[in-house]
Amino acid sequence: MRDTNLFHESNAWAAVLLGVTLFGTNPLPAAEARWPQFRGPAGAGIADGETPPTQFSPESNVVWRVELPGGISSPCIWGDRIFLTTFSEGKLATLCVNRADGGIRWRRVAPAEKIESFHPTEGSPATATATTDGQRVIVYFGSCGLRAYDFEGKDLWQLALPTARQVGDFGSGTSPVIAGHVVLLNRDQMEGSELLAVDIATGKTRWRADRSQFKSSFGTPVAWMNGQSQEVVLPGSLQMVAYDLKTGAERWRVHGLPSAMCTTPVISDGLLFFAGWSAGKDDAPMPAFVTVAEQEDKNHDGVIGLDEAKSPMVKTLFASLDTNHDQRLSREEWEAFVAVVLKGENVALALRPGGQGDISESHVVWKYKRGLPYVASPLVYRGAVYFVRDGGMVTSLKAATGEPNYEQERLGSPGSYYSSLVAANGIIYACSVSGVVTAFRAGPTFEVVARNRLKDRIAATPAIVDNTLYVRTSKHLYAFKSKP
């Protein structure tokens, strides 16, 4: 094993805020190693044909381990290169890591006049996973915009964007993706929300779709060949919208989604699948203003001043709810926020193609409303939909009908799950924030194969290529492969 030191450089209410608003030592053939975006090919999280290990640790089945600066972007892989983003000592950077041994090929700093606000323990300004077409690598930072490099680290273009401001100052969570000749980017934020399509060769904006009704969402766009239409699908608070890939014109929307939106849809077997959850009327309901004011309104003037906000919930919500920016929270502002939360519907669903306009009733194949995920996106694999609820509980549904195979089975590692599920060779990998990677078997019955403890926090999603599982923790990037 090689170990290289490279550099010395309440979740439920977070859910409301967020939405109301991963071998050996020989040269590697490029064409055989592709995990080119968040969750790999097509964003599906699947690497069938690969046989990564099910049991591993910092001392076993590890080929190399490299210490990394901070950041929670997931590995993006093409050929013998791994691309990651980092944040350390106030600087944002893109790294190109040698996939054979974990050594650094190059590092490029992304200048930012201001670092976006981000949650100090749950987030990072280096969250977005890079994407590549095999010629260029595209990275996104909410602090300064999009940047493109060639595979040797040469600057190709940049698209400067204003520093993003997310609801609750939680920082950006989306990743760019490539669809044909454009890069798609979700820019939902406090003000000026939009979906961008950017020319991959020049960095010029081809179109912008207005999403001003969405005050923040953290999912990544997905491209869907819907019948004869090439579409871009992106969820937002309370609804999901599809746009024409060529023009950005809206084609359809679905209502009845959560008020907070962290997950990314998945395309499989001709259908589009979504699963998401946020705190709301059914889970951890928000207190009435009068209840909060009893604790916070110390001068009893009927509003909560910025200097009076003491509880973590109110301090976190304050800037987002203070819509007139007078540094005072009124009953009206609080109740307007609550009204949006109460409209949210936690749900998993499948959509059939071919719709236009409001397809909330006409094209929904099935719905399911238990054991839903907060941040971890669902997996559709071998005819079943899988998702993991915080607390470490897995549900599996038949993809065609939504009928349960099993419901809320325990992984044996409680706590939060921010990393999305990935699968290979009939095994599904679920990473807990606490640093446990549970391997369980795909199929109609629940069976844990192994629990692997990496000791460090995990928020990034693993990558799988060449029978190797690449896992980024808060301190390291690991390459795990079964030893002969």
Instruction: Enter the DSSP assignment of 373.
Output: -
Residue 32 has a pLDDT of 61
> Is the model's pLDDT at 278 over the cut of 50?
yes
Residue 247, pLDDT score: 97
Whether residue 254 is found in the same domain as residue 146: yes
Q: How confident is the model at residue 171 (pLDDT cuts 50, 70, 90)?
A: confident
pLDDT at 22 over 60: no
Q: Are residues 140 and 107 in the same domain?
A: yes
- Are the CB atoms for 382 and 278 separated by under 8 Å? no
Asked whether residue 352 falls in the same domain as residue 425, the answer is: yes
Query: Do residues 297 and 274 both lie within one domain?
Result: no
Question: 25-32 long-range contacts, Cβ below 8 Å, gap at least 24?
Answer: 25/100, 25/101, 26/100, 27/80, 27/100, 28/79, 28/80, 28/99, 28/100, 28/466, 29/79, 30/78, 30/79, 30/80, 30/134, 31/79, 32/465, 32/466
The pLDDT tens digits for 404-415 are: 999 999 999 999
Residues 114 and 216 in one domain: yes
Number of domains in the chain: 2
Host domain of residue 102:
2-9+11-21+23-280+344-480
User: 3-state class of 14 per DSSP?
Assistant: helix
CATH number at residue 328: 1.10.238
- Chain segment 429-479, per-residue pLDDT in tens: 999 999 999 999 999 999 999 999 998 999 999 999 999 999 999 999 999
Q: What is the rounded average pLDDT of the residues 367-372?
A: 97
Same domain for 272 and 293? no
Residue with the larger pLDDT of the pair 139 and 300: 139
One domain for residues 207 and 336: no
- CA separation for the pair 458, 398 (Å, rounded): 29
Which pTM does this prediction carry?
0.90
Domain shared by 150 and 218, yes or no: yes
Residues 212, 350 within the same domain? yes
What per-residue confidence (pLDDT) applies to 17?
A: 36
Residues 461 and 409 both lie in one domain: yes
- Are residues 32 and 110 part of one domain? yes
Residues 336 and 356 in one domain: no
Can you tell me the distance from the alpha carbon of 304 to that of 419, in angstroms, rounded to the nearest whole number? 36
* pLDDT of amino acid 16: 36
pLDDT for res 284: 66
- pLDDT per residue as tens digits for the range 300-349: 999 999 999 988 888 877 877 887 889 999 999 888 878 878 888 999 99
CATH number at residue 71: 2.130.10.10
* Cα–Cα distance measured from residue 103 to residue 81, given in angstroms and rounded to the nearest whole number: 10
